[in-house]
């Protein structure tokens, strides 16, 4: 919305210059147009002169001067200047910004959604925690990032599906069965030794107690009992996980079982493909994958000498299955402790004939909870990890989600529980929500004063001449490029930063300028501005999965 106009201006100038012979046809034009952080430099800045200089063997300053001369004919821009060593700075005319506001307000928030994806089908796989225990805080961060990323991609022209992968065929589920079995014996008064490699968390004991209380029939033989309990416990825990996720506002389109890969035969198919292409080879009685063909990584085992598949094998099959379901791009969101696994999986999709870029990874760094200024310890081994539910119950869903998105996902996150609970400007969640509530309050007052707030489309935007008002309009239209940039880079945290930023401009404006006044024309114009602003805040909060309250 905003870039396109600036881009059009520049490309038209270049085209004109070509036609008149001032620029040759065969030049590379990989210049950029950006909004300079220094306000005094205008709305836009381009480095085109620097890009052309070496190609034309001319000084950047001379090229800039030539282009600026041509830009002066444009009906859209003003204050076109050459700055520094050859930057071209320019602004759009106020009237154009005012018109943009009007267009945005009348066409709605969706007119600010960029079509970055062009309808591409994307599968985002995230959380994928095994049902052997409740979700902890790290899973929560992954859940928030994955969910917000999918909202983001949906808004930017992608067809998104969210998937949760469950390793139900592995040993961990069996371990859960043994853990439950022993706790059950314990509760029945038998003396048992509980090995340290079993799940230590209290939830296992609770579950065993529940099985006794409810009189769930457990098969007599030890092996049968363990196998039964593995299934029972895991599906019980999985229900709990789904429940937690639901309350956290994260809903999946599909839960994919590892066991289904074996049932469908796609594991065999995968191995066959790799053998046929001679990407798999035998050595020491095992079957190996030639990772080195594609990535700087060691070769890895697909089938162990005891005949069992490794997890790597079923993971390759799983990704083949994803592609077979006609997804164009796959996004895998993992805990950062799995980063060493990336090269081999990336190699595997290339081995299957896909581009490396078709599988993208997002790593989630660990979360440290801070309470009373000190880190809260969490160790899975002792079973004393902090669960997502505990944090959600303590600080609320809104703060929880927002905080998870205040950092780049692959950076450590310090989650200050006390701050998340504060209801003051120190807490960014409230800062943003407060702006929304404040605007709603103004609208309530306006209606009470008899202003028809549903019909502002004929408001005269040319009355919005304050620096702060034009600046707010720029920030509103910028939503477009924020969505575009975060979608391209898979960085949903940019949206939260944008919200904090734009809302700050609003609070400042509000403090300085009265919206409702005697001048009805001006009042209506300002209300129109605020309605567009409110729509952006509301949509941004919705994207992050945080409520936009009308009153607080």
Ramachandran category for residue 79: left, alpha or beta (phi over 0 → left; psi -120 to 50 → alpha): left
At residue 107, φ and ψ (nearest 5 deg) are -85, -15
Could you give the angle at which helices 48-56 and 60-71 cross, rounded to 10 degrees? Answer: 120
| Binds RNA by CB under 7 A, chosen from 106, 366, 465, 521 | 366
| Binds RNA by CB under 7 A, chosen from 406, 471, 542, 547 | 406
Tally Cβ neighbours within 10 Å of residue 423. Answer: 12
Answer for the pair 227, 119: CB distance below 8 angstroms, yes or no: no
Q: How many helices (H) and strands (E) does the chain have?
A: 19, 15
Question: Looking at beta carbons only, is 26 or 308 nearer to RNA?
Answer: 308
| Binds RNA by CB under 7 A, chosen from 25, 26, 38, 214 | 38
Q: How many angstroms separate the CA atoms of 84 and 45, rounded?
A: 11
Residue partners of 551: CB distance under 8 A and separation at least 6: 437, 440, 441
Contact between 447 and RNA per CB under 7 A:
no
Strand partners, 374: 371
Taking CB under 7 A as the binding criterion, the range among 157-165, 225-233, 240-248, 401-409 that sits at the site for RNA is: 401-409
| Binds RNA by CB under 7 A, chosen from 72, 188, 339, 356 | 339
Contact between 410 and RNA per CB under 7 A:
yes
Q: How far is CA 39 from the centre of its chain?
A: 29
Question: Looking at beta carbons only, is 26 or 284 nearer to RNA?
Answer: 284
Least separation in angstroms between residue 464's CB and RNA is: 14
Collapsed DSSP state (helix, strand, coil) of residue 548: coil
Least separation in angstroms between residue 214's CB and RNA is: 29
Contact between 141 and RNA per CB under 7 A:
no
Q: What is the DSSP string of 119-157?
A: TEEEEEE-----TTS--BHHHHHHHHHHHHHHHHHHHTT
Answer for the pair 453, 447: CB distance below 8 angstroms, yes or no: yes
Answer for the pair 182, 140: CB distance below 8 angstroms, yes or no: no
Collapsed DSSP state (helix, strand, coil) of residue 288: strand
Contact between 357 and RNA per CB under 7 A:
no
Contact between 172 and RNA per CB under 7 A:
yes
Least separation in angstroms between residue 432's CB and RNA is: 10
Least separation in angstroms between residue 428's CB and RNA is: 6
Give the x-and-dash track for 185-224 against RNA (CB under 7 A): ----------------------------------------
Ramachandran category for residue 61: left, alpha or beta (phi over 0 → left; psi -120 to 50 → alpha): alpha
Contact between 36 and RNA per CB under 7 A:
yes
Residues 239 to 258 in contact with RNA, rule: CB under 7 A? none
Question: Looking at beta carbons only, is 211 or 237 nearer to RNA?
Answer: 237
| Total site size for RNA, rule CB under 7 A | 92
Least separation in angstroms between residue 399's CB and RNA is: 11
Residues 475 to 534 in contact with RNA, rule: CB under 7 A? 481, 485, 488-489, 491, 493-494, 497, 500, 504, 507-508, 510-516
Question: Looking at beta carbons only, is 243 or 423 nearer to RNA?
Answer: 423
Least separation in angstroms between residue 24's CB and RNA is: 19
Contact between 437 and RNA per CB under 7 A:
yes
Q: How many angstroms separate the CA atoms of 144 and 421, rounded?
A: 18
Answer for the pair 280, 290: CB distance below 8 angstroms, yes or no: yes
Residues 45 to 84 in contact with RNA, rule: CB under 7 A? 45, 47, 50-51, 53-54, 60, 83-84
Contact between 231 and RNA per CB under 7 A:
no
| Binds RNA by CB under 7 A, chosen from 206, 414, 418, 460 | 414
Question: Looking at beta carbons only, is 28 or 512 nearer to RNA?
Answer: 512
Residues 91 to 120 in contact with RNA, rule: CB under 7 A? none
Question: Looking at beta carbons only, is 29 or 85 nearer to RNA?
Answer: 85
Answer for the pair 43, 90: CB distance below 8 angstroms, yes or no: yes
Could you give the angle at which helices 397-404 and 428-448 cross, rounded to 10 degrees? Answer: 120
Contact between 34 and RNA per CB under 7 A:
yes
Answer for the pair 184, 212: CB distance below 8 angstroms, yes or no: yes
Q: How far is CA 187 from the centre of its chain?
A: 44
Contact between 275 and RNA per CB under 7 A:
no
Taking CB under 7 A as the binding criterion, the range among 39-47, 156-164, 178-186, 209-217 that sits at the site for RNA is: 39-47
| Binds RNA by CB under 7 A, chosen from 24, 246, 285, 521 | 285
* Closest alpha carbon to 499 in 428, 408, 417: 428
Question: Looking at beta carbons only, is 55 or 218 nearer to RNA?
Answer: 55
Least separation in angstroms between residue 285's CB and RNA is: 5
Q: How many angstroms separate the CA atoms of 15 and 21, rounded?
A: 10
Cα radius of gyration rounded to whole Å, the chain: 29
Contact between 466 and RNA per CB under 7 A:
no
Question: Looking at beta carbons only, is 183 or 493 nearer to RNA?
Answer: 493
Question: Looking at beta carbons only, is 126 or 211 nearer to RNA?
Answer: 126
Least separation in angstroms between residue 354's CB and RNA is: 21
Residue showing tokens 């997890």 = 311
Give the start-end residues of each E strand in 3-55: 33-34, 44-46
Give the x-and-dash track for 296-315 against RNA (CB under 7 A): x-x-xx--xxx-x-xxx---
CA angle 71, 74, 79 (to 5 degrees): 65
DSSP-based helix, strand, coil % in the chain, nearest 5: 55, 15, 30
Least separation in angstroms between residue 235's CB and RNA is: 18
| Binds RNA by CB under 7 A, chosen from 76, 194, 255, 341 | 341
Question: Looking at beta carbons only, is 332 or 440 nearer to RNA?
Answer: 440
Contact between 32 and RNA per CB under 7 A:
yes
Collapsed DSSP state (helix, strand, coil) of residue 516: coil
């Amino acid at each position: 919305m905003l870039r396109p106009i600036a881009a059009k201006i520049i490309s038209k100038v270049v085209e004109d210059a070509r036609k008149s012979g001032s620029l040759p046809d065969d030049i590379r034009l990989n210049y950029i147009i950006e909004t300079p952080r220094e306000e005094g430099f205008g709305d836009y800045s381009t480095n085109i002169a620097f890009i052309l200089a070496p190609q034309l063997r001319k000084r950047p300053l001379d090229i800039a001067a030539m282009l600026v001369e041509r830009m002066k004919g444009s009906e859209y821009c003003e204050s076109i200047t050459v700055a520094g060593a050859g930057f071209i700075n320019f602004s759009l005319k106020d009237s154009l910004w005012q018109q943009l506001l009007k267009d945005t307000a009348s066409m709605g928030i969706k007119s600010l959604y960029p079509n970055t994806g062009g309808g591409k089908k994307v599968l985002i796989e995230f959380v994928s925690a095994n049902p052997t225990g409740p979700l902890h805080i790290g899973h929560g961060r992954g859940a928030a990032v994955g969910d917000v990323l999918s909202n983001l991609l949906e808004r930017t022209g992608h067809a998104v599906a969210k998937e949760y992968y469950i390793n139900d065929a592995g040993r961990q589920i069996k371990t859960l069965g043994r853990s439950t079995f022993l706790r059950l014996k314990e509760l029945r008064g038998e003396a048992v030794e509980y090995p340290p490699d079993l799940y230590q968390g209290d939830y296992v004991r609770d579950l065993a107690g529940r099985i006794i209380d409810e009189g769930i029939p457990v098969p007599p033989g030890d092996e049968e009992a363990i196998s039964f309990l593995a299934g029972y416990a895991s599906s019980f825990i999985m229900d709990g996980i789904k429940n937690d996720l639901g309350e956290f506002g994260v809903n999946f389109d599909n839960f994919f079982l590892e066991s289904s890969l074996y049932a469908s035969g796609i594991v065999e198919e995968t191995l066959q493909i790799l053998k046929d292409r001679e990407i798999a080879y035998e050595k020491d009685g095992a079957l190996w994958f030639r990772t080195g063909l594609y990535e700087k990584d060691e070769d890895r085992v697909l089938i162990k000498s005891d005949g069992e598949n490794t997890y790597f094998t079923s993971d390759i099959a799983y990704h083949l299955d994803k592609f077979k379901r006609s997804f164009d791009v796959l996004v895998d969101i993992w805990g950062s402790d799995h980063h060493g696994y990336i090269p081999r999986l990336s190699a595997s999709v290339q081995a299957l004939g896909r581009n490396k870029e078709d599988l993208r990874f997002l790593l989630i760094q660990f979360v440290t909870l801070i309470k009373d200024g000190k880190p809260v310890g969490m160790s899975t081994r002792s079973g004393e990890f902090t669960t997502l539910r505990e944090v959600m119950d303590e600080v609320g869903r809104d703060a929880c989600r927002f905080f998870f998105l205040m950092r780049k996902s692959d950076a450590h996150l310090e989650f200050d529980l006390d701050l998340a609970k504060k209801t003051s400007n120190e807490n960014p969640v409230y800062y943003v929500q407060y702006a929304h509530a404040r605007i709603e309050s103004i609208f309530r007052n306006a209606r009470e004063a008899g202003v028809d707030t549903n019909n502002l489309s004929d408001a005269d935007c040319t009355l919005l001449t304050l620096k702060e008002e034009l600046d707010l309009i720029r920030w509103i239209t910028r939503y477009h490029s924020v969505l575009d940039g975060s979608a391209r880079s898979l960085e949903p945290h940019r949206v939260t930063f944008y919200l904090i930023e734009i809302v700050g401009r609003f609070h400042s404006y509000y403090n300085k300028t009265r919206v409702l006044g005697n001048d009805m024309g001006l009042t209506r114009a300002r209300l129109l501005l605020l309605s567009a602003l409110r729509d952006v805040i509301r949509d941004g909060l919705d994207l992050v999965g945080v409520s936009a309250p009308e009153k607080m």
